[in-house]
C-alpha cells in the first residue's frame, strides 16, 4: 500500500514537473534547447512518402514526453523492470524499437541484445530521436497520413485526445519561443 502511494506521489510530481516546464519557455535550459535541436535535425532527415517531415511534431513530443530530455526513464513506477519502461528523450519502449526494426528491416537494431538496445536508447539521444522519428513516419504512413491518429498512436492510443492536446500545446510553445 505504501509503495503504491509513493509511486502515485512520485508520478504526480513528475507530471507536474513536465506540465510546469512545458508551460514556461523561460524554463528551457541550454540542454533542453540542445535536445530539441537534435530532434529537429533528425526529423528533417526522415520525410514520409509525400515528402513531409515532422520536426515540429517530434520536438513537441519530446517536450511532452520528457520535457526535452529532463526525464529519461518513464513508466518505471508501474513496473520496475527497465525492459518495460519508456526510454530516452522520446520515451521509446524496447518493444516499439524491436517492432520498428523488424518493419524497417533495420539490421543494426535487430542484431542488438535487449541490454544493448536499452543502453543505446538511454545513452544516445540522436539514436533515440532517430528511432522515434522513424516511428512517427511509419505511424503516419500506417494511418494513411491522418495526423491526429499519428500523434495519438505515438502514445499508445488510436484516439488519444488528451495526449494529442498536450502535444499541440507544446507545438505552439515551440513555434512561439524557439527559433532555429
Close Cβ partners of 166 (under 8 Å, ≥ 6 residues apart) = 22, 64
Q: What mean pLDDT comes out for the span 88-116?
A: 96
70: pLDDT strictly greater than 90: no
| Per-residue pLDDT band at 79 (split at 50, 70, 90) | low
Domain 2-177 has CATH 3.30.470.20: no
d(CA 154, CA 136): 7
- Is the model's pLDDT at 23 over the cut of 50? no
Q: Is the pLDDT of residue 37 over 50?
A: yes
Lowest model confidence (mean pLDDT) among 44-58, 60-74, 114-128, 130-144: 60-74
* DSSP H/E element including 86: strand 86-87
State the DSSP string of 14-40.
Answer: HHHHHHHHHH-GGG--HHHHHHHHHHH
Amino acid at each position: 500500500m505504501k509503495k503504491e502511494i509513493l509511486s502515485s506521489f512520485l508520478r504526480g510530481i513528475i507530471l507536474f514537473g513536465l506540465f510546469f516546464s512545458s508551460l514556461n519557455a523561460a524554463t528551457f535550459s541550454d540542454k533542453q534547447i540542445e535536445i530539441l535541436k537534435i530532434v529537429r535535425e533528425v526529423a528533417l532527415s526522415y520525410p514520409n512518402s509525400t515528402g513531409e517531415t515532422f520536426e515540429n511534431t517530434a520536438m513537441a513530443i519530446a517536450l511532452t514526453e520528457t520535457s526535452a530530455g529532463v526525464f529519461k526513464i518513464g513508466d518505471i513506477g508501474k513496473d520496475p523492470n527497465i525492459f518495460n519502461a519508456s526510454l530516452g528523450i522520446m520515451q521509446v519502449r524496447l518493444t516499439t524499437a524491436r517492432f520498428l526494426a523488424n518493419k524497417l528491416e533495420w539490421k543494426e537494431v535487430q542484431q542488438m541484445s535487449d541490454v544493448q538496445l536499452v543502453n543505446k536508447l538511454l545513452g544516445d539521444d540522436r539514436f533515440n530521436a532517430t528511432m522515434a522519428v522513424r516511428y512517427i513516419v511509419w505511424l503516419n504512413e500506417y494511418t494513411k497520413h491522418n495526423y491526429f491518429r499519428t500523434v495519438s498512436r505515438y502514445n499508445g492510443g488510436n484516439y488519444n485526445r488528451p495526449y494529442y492536446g498536450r502535444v499541440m500545446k507544446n507545438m505552439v510553445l515551440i513555434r512561439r519561443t524557439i527559433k532555429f
